[in-house]
Amino acid sequence: MVKSAPDRHQEIRDAVRALCAQFPDSYHREIDAQRAYPEAIVDALTAAGWLAALIPHEYGGSGLGLAEASVVMEEVNRSGGNAGACHGQMYNMGTLLRHGSEVQKRFYLPKIASGEWRLQSMGVTEPTSGTDTTKIRTTATRRGDRWVVNGQKVWISRIQHSDWMILLARTTPLAEVKKKTEGMSIFMVDLRAAEQSGMAVRPIANMVNHETNELFFENLELPAENLIGEEGQGFRYILDGLNAERTLIASECIGDGRWFIDRVTAYAGERVVFGRPIGQNQGVQFPIAEAFIEVEAADLMRFKACALFDAHEPCGTEANLAKYLAAKASWQAAGACLQFHGGFGFAHEYDVERKFRETRLYQVAPISTNLILSYVAEHVLGLPRSF
Ligand SMILES: Cc1cc2nc3c(=O)[nH]c(=O)nc-3n(C[C@H](O)[C@H](O)[C@H](O)COP(=O)(O)OP(=O)(O)OC[C@H]3O[C@@H](n4cnc5c(N)ncnc54)[C@H](O)[C@@H]3O)c2cc1C
pLDDT at 1: 72
Instruction: Enumerate residues lining ligand 1, CB below 6 A.
Output: 122-125, 130-131, 155-157, 206, 210, 212, 361, 364-368, 370, 374, 387
Q: Which of 132, 364, 372, 387 to mutate to test the pocket of ligand 1 (most atoms within 8 A of CB)?
A: 364
For the chain, state the CA radius of gyration: 21
C-alpha span between 51 and 128 (Å, rounded): 33
With a CB cutoff of 8 Å and minimum separation 6, the contacts of 225 are: 104
C-alpha span between 215 and 132 (Å, rounded): 18
pLDDT at 114: 97
Which is the closest atom of ligand 1 to the Cα of 208?
A: 1
pLDDT at 115: 97
Alpha-carbon distance values, 111 to 23, 119, 277, 340 (Å): 26, 10, 53, 46
Distance between Cα 64 and ligand 1 center (Å)? 30
Closest-CA residue, ligand 1 atom 3, reads: 155
pLDDT at 5: 61
Q: What is the pLDDT of residues 287-319, one digit of tens each?
A: 999 999 999 999 999 999 999 999 999 999 999
3-state secondary structure of 64: coil
Which is the closest atom of ligand 1 to the Cα of 88?
A: 8
pLDDT at 8: 87
15-18-23-29 Cα dihedral, nearest 10 degrees: 80
Q: What is the pLDDT of residues 18-66, one digit of tens each?
A: 999 999 999 999 999 999 999 999 999 999 999 999 999 999 999 999 9
Distance between Cα 137 and ligand 1 center (Å)? 16
320 touches 375 (CB < 8 A): yes
Closest-CA residue, ligand 1 atom 37, reads: 131
CB atoms within 10 A of CB 347: 11
Closest-CA residue, ligand 1 atom 22, reads: 131
CA angle 72, 361, 318 (to 5 degrees): 60
Query: Hey, what amino acid is at 210?
Result: H
Find, among 332, 273, 342, 339, the residue nearest to 298 by Cα: 332
**Maximum CA extent, the chain:** 79
Q: Which of 89, 125, 378 to mutate to test the pocket of ligand 1 (most atoms within 8 A of CB)?
A: 125
The answer to whether the peptide bond before residue 366 is cis (omega within 30 degrees of 0) is: yes
Distance between Cα 126 and ligand 1 center (Å)? 9
Q: Which of 87, 368, 376 to mutate to test the pocket of ligand 1 (most atoms within 8 A of CB)?
A: 368
Global pTM value: 0.97
Distance between Cα 130 and ligand 1 center (Å)? 6
Active-site residue among 126, 211, 245, 294? 245
Whether 11 is a known active-site residue: answer: no
pLDDT at 3: 65
Q: Count Cβ atoms within 10 A of the Cβ of residue 270 and give its class: 0-12 exposed, 13-18 middle, 19 or more buried.
A: exposed
Residue stretches of the chain with pLDDT short of 70: 2-6
CB atoms within 10 A of CB 240: 15
pLDDT at 303: 98
Distance between Cα 366 and ligand 1 center (Å)? 7
Distance between Cα 142 and ligand 1 center (Å)? 29
DSSP tag of 340: H
Distance between Cα 122 and ligand 1 center (Å)? 14
89 touches 61 (CB < 8 A): no
Phi, psi torsion values for 12, nearest 5 degrees: -65, -45
Which is the closest atom of ligand 1 to the Cα of 153?
A: 11
pLDDT at 4: 64
User: For the packed helices 234-270 and 66-78, what is the interaxial angle rounded to 10 degrees?
Assistant: 40
Closest-CA residue, ligand 1 atom 35, reads: 370
User: For the packed helices 316-340 and 282-310, what is the interaxial angle rounded to 10 degrees?
Assistant: 160
